[in-house]
């Protein structure tokens, strides 16, 4: 059985948006920026409506409704201005939070200037990431992380798995498929062979294109048409969960223009004493190629050097780190298959079709690149099709 946490938090308004060259390099709470963009844009739009800027597009009746909506949505004052008030504070949070007894009186917070928000480019982090379909408010993850799904398969199928088997050749004929392999720990040792009626092959295309495999020319062309993207991650363990204790951040993501690109806060073990683990860096593109070339220790050094400008607690609380760059994983040689519209059009069906007795599976055979979901759905679909074909052949 695989237990799921009720929550995996992708978007948390208490997490930060950060730009080294804006807001004096001070990270800003995602919720503040989101609310302030909404308020400022509502103010500008209502101004445009009020001076007749939209008269060609909205009639008088719609105009009234639009203004009413903008006033409520942007939390504007009676003059349609976005200004600090008790009302705006209900949305973006307090400068001094309300307490009990003779605790300090609550105080409204102040909006940030729209000019600086626009200059910073933080808006892009919101609409490119936080507002996308993948950032649902309710998400689930297995207890212990997504890797537990693979662990569960291993546990259930243990008897069927042969570890450290490096495939060197896949050969099909009219009656079955023969696979040659060697022990990856002694690749010069004896070649072993296994034969079956069918072969479901989930070897990454980066590796598969280097193997001796007899499939049709269209499938071979498809296999060679999928380059693999680059990505890096750094995990950092700290002596205490300062992001929770000091900064009230429970889960979610911080985005920055520094090479670490993101910090992700754990959705597990909240409020626990003792150490906690952050995702201290995660990105793509040229920065990822640069990360690929570093030693594991250097990658941790980079994550610490930059990350401290978001969380100054880093140097004092750091305990241990680890990293992964997918292009350096010997059995993947890359992170995931990159498809374009034209390569899908030309090659996708050929890649996924059953080629006599061989069928390919994996995230590269799905419309959900990089995700386990894509890999598993491709496996389910391949099994269904293979079952049907085997039944037909009797």
Partner 1 sequence: MNTIIMKITIMKSMTPKMLMIMLLSSSALLGCSQKAGDVETIASKHDAEQTVDYQASRNTGSWGAVYMSRDELKAQPINVVDDSSLPNMENDPIISEWEAKFEGSNAFITTDGKKLYHDSCAGCHMHKGEGAYGAGYYPPLANNSKMQSKYYIINILINGFRGMPSFHMMMNDAQMAAVTQYVVSDLNGYTDTVTAEDVAKLRHANPPGYDPSE
List the interface residues with partner 1, window 242-261 (CB under 8 A): 242, 245-248, 257, 259, 261
Output the six-digit token pair for 57. 């597009």
Q: Which of 236, 231, 259 is nearest to 328 (CA)?
A: 231
Dihedral angle, C-alpha 381, 385, 386, 388, nearest 10 ° = 140
Nearer to partner 1, 2 or 286 (CB): 286
In angstroms, give the least distance from the CB of 172 to partner 1. Answer: 20
Nearer to partner 1, 125 or 247 (CB): 247
Task: Select from 54, 139, 149, 333 the one that contacts partner 1 (CB under 8 A).
Answer: 333
Nearer to partner 1, 108 or 266 (CB): 108
Q: Is 281 in the site for partner 1 (CB under 8 A)?
A: no
- From 55-63, 124-132, 152-160, 290-298, span contacting partner 1 (CB under 8 A): 290-298
Dihedral angle, C-alpha 309, 314, 320, 324, nearest 10 ° = -20
In angstroms, give the least distance from the CB of 143 to partner 1. Answer: 27
Give the Cα separation of 274 and 317 in Å (integer): 11
Nearer to partner 1, 173 or 349 (CB): 349
Nearer to partner 1, 5 or 287 (CB): 287
Binding mask 118-157 for partner 1 (x = CB under 8 A): x---------------------------------------
Give the Cα separation of 329 and 204 in Å (integer): 11
Task: Select from 69, 72, 98, 150 the one that contacts partner 1 (CB under 8 A).
Answer: 98
CA dist 28 to 43, 120, 361, 362, Å? 22, 11, 43, 39
Give the Cα separation of 37 and 221 in Å (integer): 48
Task: Select from 55, 97, 144, 192 the one that contacts partner 1 (CB under 8 A).
Answer: 97
Pinpoint the alpha helices (H) of 224-357.
242-245, 285-292, 296-307, 314-317, 341-343, 349-352
Nearer to partner 1, 226 or 264 (CB): 226
Three-state SS at 8: coil
Output the six-digit token pair for 133. 């379909």
Q: Is 269 in the site for partner 1 (CB under 8 A)?
A: no
Q: Is 327 in the site for partner 1 (CB under 8 A)?
A: yes
Q: Scanning residues 15 to 54, which ones bind partner 1 (CB under 8 A)?
A: 20, 23-29, 32, 40, 44, 47, 51
In angstroms, give the least distance from the CB of 63 to partner 1. Answer: 17
In angstroms, give the least distance from the CB of 288 to partner 1. Answer: 8
Binding mask 160-199 for partner 1 (x = CB under 8 A): ------xx----------------x---------------
Cβ atoms of 310 and 256 within 8 Å: the answer is yes
In angstroms, give the least distance from the CB of 5 to partner 1. Answer: 25
Cβ atoms of 12 and 248 within 8 Å: the answer is no
Give the Cα separation of 351 and 202 in Å (integer): 12
In angstroms, give the least distance from the CB of 3 to partner 1. Answer: 30
Binding mask 197-226 for partner 1 (x = CB under 8 A): ------xxxxx-xxx--------xx-xxxx
Helix axes 60-73, 30-50, angle to 10 degrees: 160
Give the number of other Cβ atoms within 10 Å of residue 79's Cβ.
10
Output the six-digit token pair for 117. 């928000």
Taking the CA of residue 209 as centre, how many other CA atoms within 13 Å lie in the half-sphere pointing to its CB?
16
Q: Is 330 in the site for partner 1 (CB under 8 A)?
A: yes
In angstroms, give the least distance from the CB of 17 to partner 1. Answer: 11
In angstroms, give the least distance from the CB of 189 to partner 1. Answer: 15
Cβ atoms of 329 and 200 within 8 Å: the answer is no
Question: What element of type H or E holds 64?
Answer: helix 60-73
């Amino acid at each position: 059985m695989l237990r799921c946490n009720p929550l995996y938090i992708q978007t948390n308004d208490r997490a930060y948006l950060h730009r080294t060259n804006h807001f004096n390099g001070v990270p800003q709470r995602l919720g503040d920026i989101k609310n302030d963009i909404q308020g400022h844009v509502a103010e500008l739009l209502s101004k445009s409506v009020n001076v007749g800027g939209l008269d060609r597009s909205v009639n008088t009746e719609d105009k009234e409704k639009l203004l009413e909506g903008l006033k409520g949505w942007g939390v504007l004052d009676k003059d349609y201005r976005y200004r600090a008030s008790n009302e705006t504070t209900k949305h973006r949070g307090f400068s001094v939070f309300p307490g009990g007894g003779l605790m300090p009186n609550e105080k409204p917070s102040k909006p940030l200037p729209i000019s600086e928000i626009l200059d910073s480019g933080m808006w892009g982090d919101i609409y490119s990431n936080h507002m996308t379909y993948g950032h649902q408010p309710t998400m689930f993850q297995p207890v212990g992380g997504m890797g537990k799904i693979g662990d569960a398969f291993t546990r259930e199928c243990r008897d069927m798995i042969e570890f450290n088997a490096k495939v060197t050749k896949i050969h099909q004929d009219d009656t079955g498929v023969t696979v040659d392999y060697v022990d990856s720990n002694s690749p010069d040792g004896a070649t072993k062979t296994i034969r079956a009626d069918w072969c479901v092959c989930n070897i990454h295309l980066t590796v598969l294109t280097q193997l001796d495999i007899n499939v049709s020319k269209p499938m071979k062309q498809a296999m060679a048409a999928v380059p693999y993207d680059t990505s890096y991650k750094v995990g950092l363990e700290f002596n205490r969960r300062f992001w929770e204790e000091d900064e009230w951040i429970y889960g979610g993501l911080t985005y920055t223009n520094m090479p670490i690109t993101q910090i992700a806060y754990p959705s597990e073990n909240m409020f626990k004493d003792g150490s906690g683990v952050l995702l201290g860096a995660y990105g793509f593109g040229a920065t990822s190629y640069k990360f690929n070339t570093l030693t594991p220790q250097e990658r941790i050094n980079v994550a610490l050097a930059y990350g401290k400008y978001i969380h100054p607690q880093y140097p004092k609380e750091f305990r241990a780190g680890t990293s992964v760059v997918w292009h350096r994983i010997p059995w993947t040689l890359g992170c995931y298959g990159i498809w374009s519209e034209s390569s899908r059009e030309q090659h996708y069906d050929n890649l996924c079709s059953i080629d006599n007795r061989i069928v390919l599976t994996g995230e590269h055979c799905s419309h959900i690149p990089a995700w386990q979901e894509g890999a598993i759905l491709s496996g389910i679909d391949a099994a269904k099709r293979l079952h049907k074909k085997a039944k037909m052949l009797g």
